[in-house]
Amino acid sequence: MRMMFRQSRAGMRGISLAELLLVAGITSFLFVAIIGIWVFTYKNWTIERVHYRLHVNLEVAMETIRQEIRLSSTTYMSGYPIGGTSFTAISFPLASQDADGFYTLSGGAISWDQSVIYHTYKNPVTGNNELRRTVFTDNSSVLIDKTQRDAQLTSVVTNGDGTAALNSAHATTKVVVPRTPNERLIQNAALILAPAIQEFNCYNATEQRVNVSFGCIELTSGYHDLTFTVTGKQADSSGYEFGIDTLSVTPCGVKREAEVINDYDDILDTIKDSSGDGTTKLGPDSLWSGQNCLEYDANAVTDYLTFNVYYDLWRESNFDGATLDNVTLDGDDLHAKLKDVSEGKTIAWQAAVEASGPLGTSVQTDYPGTVPMRNKTIRVTLSQSNVVASGDMVRVKFYSHSTGKLTISKAYLDIKDDAAGDTPKLKYDPSDLTQLALYQTYHSQLFFRTVATGEIAQSVTIDPNNPQDPSEPNAFYSDWVIYPLDPANSYFVTFHIADNSGEDYISYWPGTSGKVSYLIDEESYATQVDWTGYSQSPDVYVAGFLEAWHTTGSVISGVFDTKVTSPEFNTLRWNDSKPAHTTISVKSRSSDNADMSGASAWGSIAGSGSNPHGLSIGDGEYAQFKADLALNLYWTCSTHPSVNVADTDYKHSGVMACTEGGCSRFLIPSASIATGNYCPWIDNVTIDWPGSDKICEISGYLRQAPNYGIISLSVDGVPLTKTIRVGVQVQETLQGKTYDAQLTQDMVLRNTGK
């Protein structure tokens, strides 16, 4: 039985030392390997964590900066170092939002009340160079003053926060790229900012006009330099030139014609300086405002042209929306000119209307037969109801038979006595001394200029075979006479048909009723006040038209919105041309209402010919001007144009002929022989006022062309920018190694502050 439980000694042997050592060695190897893998993994994870955190924090920081800058404006922005072209710190304005999420406004503009400063600072405790954000609230009084704003920025950069700066009580500072207190990394942040100068490519394969907003800047009242500089050109362009049509400065934003600034130096705006290249006025062309634009003949990078402009003003160069009375927009530069005789004459009366009856307008007809009209004096009525225009100078158009001759020995224009009814009686009787002066004023002999020699004569033979105007061979105009035509009166044209056989063929306009023409024998009746023994007819004989021309005209501007509350208007000035014997007088007014209600009536405002002259027109937001243009008529001689006889002397003293050098020619109105530009014109009417200190947008229209370059604009030496290039770099040092992340973005400032 004992044999059954006996064990082999070999089955009971333990683990040998060698085996134990082997197991321990393998275990140790595995442990070391695992620890090594863990250390390697942890080390790499730590590095990647640093990288990741750097990038995430940097992206967050850059997005914060971008969001704030895009809601800011270049106005009230400062960079450090002060006066530099690139910066390591920046101060820019922000505005508070109201309960609805909108920015608060003041006077129609955003009320900037915060300053945000991004800067770096070496923390003396940690040794880290930190990217910081310092905010000043209730800071409007500091940020609008550049000196204080720059001082505040400098203090923050120097001290790392706002504790020693202006408005320190409202300053808070925080680190933009944060670290926890347990992190032993050394951090270094760098900030680089540079305004990106706006450039405008003036190249285009074909000529065109483009509207451009150059940017915004704070302006103070007075003069400012706008300098356009060539910065390059597109590869396709054949040159560096550039063209400017108009420039505008808000708040009023009036279009200032560039070529006008170039042409005139007495309208507040001037060409101040250039790189020495020439300017060219391009036009006239309807493509351009005012039909013209200005080209600068630049030929290289850095060539420039400087405008010196006044802030602020209204200049009317094109008379858009103006009311013109006997005035026309004339010339390549569109000035407002008094219409000359050829432009301004108007039909004041027509025989076809005078003779018209129930059947309508009468038709001109050859008179059947001749004998009854020979040696006849005829007085034709020009009824007040048919006189449709006034004038300072008039002439009559007479008609013969379509094929036969007609000789008029004398002709006159008189005022009719409407109180006498349908009779041939004149209103004023020269035998009554109380009426003599009025008779002389309204009684005017008509003269004729002969076809052959142009001499002035009392009589005329209308010959269809030798016409005054080949397009109307049986018509003949009298020469112009100075005469005060008023549609409130009726008139007579009186003429005598000569007792010449074969020269009494007439035209007439058949009438149907009434007493229109009065006929009597003998020439002596032509100047008599009243007739007896006459016959009468509803027809109109020979006299077909009365034309009139005014020697005065006016232009009333459209209403202009200065966009300023209570502007302090300074002066009124203009450019003009005033030939001899002409005058220009300008007046202006203002109102708080766009329809000019409440403004003084034009008739109560005294105009002035002084250029310039000071204004006392109130301080309404809306302004308007009226210019009165006049030509002073006198009587002169066609061969002695220096003769100058006043109309009163001509009519009341009987000075009707020239006596110069034995000349005896009849005198004629000065305007009837004037040549060239004898009427006055006005242009570039300018009203100025001191602009308020505020953010202003500079804009305009540029010309693009195949030979044009790329330009930029600076105001008073400061480039206009809408973009800030922001570069942020953050470095962190771990275990002796430095890791960094960096981002660069161009950030567009979307706010003008308006």
8 A C-beta contact, residue 622 and residue 592: yes
Distance, in Å, from the CA atom of 464 to the CA atom of 477, rounded to the nearest integer, reads 13
* Residues in Cβ contact with 100 at an 8 Å cutoff, skipping those fewer than 6 apart: none
For residue 122, tell me if it sits in a domain. Answer: yes
Mean pLDDT of 744-754: 62
Provide the pLDDT for residue 357: 60
Asked whether the bond before 430 is cis by omega within 30 degrees of 0, the reply is no
* Residues in Cβ contact with 421 at an 8 Å cutoff, skipping those fewer than 6 apart: none
Distance, in Å, from the CA atom of 637 to the CA atom of 474, rounded to the nearest integer, reads 28
For residue 366, tell me if it sits in a domain. Answer: yes
Q: Residue with structure tokens 């002060």?
A: 82
List C-alpha distances in Å: 82 to 78, 157, 173, 678: 7, 11, 21, 60
Provide the pLDDT for residue 114: 93
Whether 566 and 579 map to the same domain: the answer is yes
Decide which of 490, 521, 549 is a domain's last residue: 549
Write down the pTM of the prediction: 0.77
Whether 696 and 684 map to the same domain: the answer is no
Whether 516 and 377 map to the same domain: the answer is yes
* Residues in Cβ contact with 499 at an 8 Å cutoff, skipping those fewer than 6 apart: 374, 375
Whether 513 and 490 map to the same domain: the answer is yes
Which amino acid, residue 47?
I
Whether 394 and 456 map to the same domain: the answer is yes
Whether 375 and 425 map to the same domain: the answer is yes
Provide the pLDDT for residue 179: 63
Radius of gyration of the chain (CA): 46
Whether 483 and 541 map to the same domain: the answer is yes
Distance, in Å, from the CA atom of 76 to the CA atom of 91, rounded to the nearest integer, reads 8
For residue 611, tell me if it sits in a domain. Answer: yes
| Angle at the Cα of 39 from the Cα atoms of 34 and 42, rounded to 5 degrees | 120
Whether 425 and 462 map to the same domain: the answer is yes
Whether 519 and 532 map to the same domain: the answer is yes
pLDDT digits (tens, 9 = 90+) for 15-73: 777 777 777 777 777 777 777 676 656 555 555 666 677 777 778 878 888 888 888 87
For residue 34, tell me if it sits in a domain. Answer: no
For residue 234, tell me if it sits in a domain. Answer: yes
Domain that holds residue 454: 344-549
For residue 350, tell me if it sits in a domain. Answer: yes
| pLDDT for 3 beyond 50 | no
Distance, in Å, from the CA atom of 722 to the CA atom of 697, rounded to the nearest integer, reads 11
Residue percentage of the chain with pLDDT more than 90: 64
Residue of higher predicted confidence among 738 and 700: 700
Cα four-point dihedral sign 164, 167, 173, 176: negative
Decide which of 501, 516, 549 is a domain's last residue: 549
Decide which of 528, 549, 570 is a domain's last residue: 549
Whether 163 and 249 map to the same domain: the answer is no
Tokens of 225: 């330099």
List C-alpha distances in Å: 687 to 90, 313, 569, 613: 39, 6, 7, 10
The region that residue 617 occupies, defined by phi over 0 for left and psi between -120 and 50 for alpha, beta otherwise, is: alpha
Asked whether the bond before 251 is cis by omega within 30 degrees of 0, the reply is yes
| CA within 13 Å, CB half, 603 | 0
For residue 583, tell me if it sits in a domain. Answer: yes
Determine phi and psi for 473, rounding to 5 degrees: -65, -25
pLDDT digits (tens, 9 = 90+) for 710-747: 999 999 998 887 667 777 777 766 666 776 777 777 77
Cα four-point dihedral sign 247, 248, 249, 254: positive
Residue percentage of the chain with pLDDT more than 70: 90
| pLDDT for 2 beyond 50 | no
Whether 431 and 465 map to the same domain: the answer is yes
List C-alpha distances in Å: 193 to 79, 89, 149, 155, 217: 8, 7, 18, 18, 19
Whether 523 and 416 map to the same domain: the answer is yes
Q: Structurally, how many domains does the chain consist of?
A: 4
- According to DSSP, the residues that pair with 333 across neighbouring strands are none
For residue 450, tell me if it sits in a domain. Answer: yes
List C-alpha distances in Å: 559 to 310, 377, 556, 593: 21, 55, 9, 10
| pLDDT for 100 beyond 70 | no
List C-alpha distances in Å: 273 to 303, 306, 526: 11, 5, 71
Tokens of 88: 């390591």
Determine phi and psi for 353, rounding to 5 degrees: -80, -40
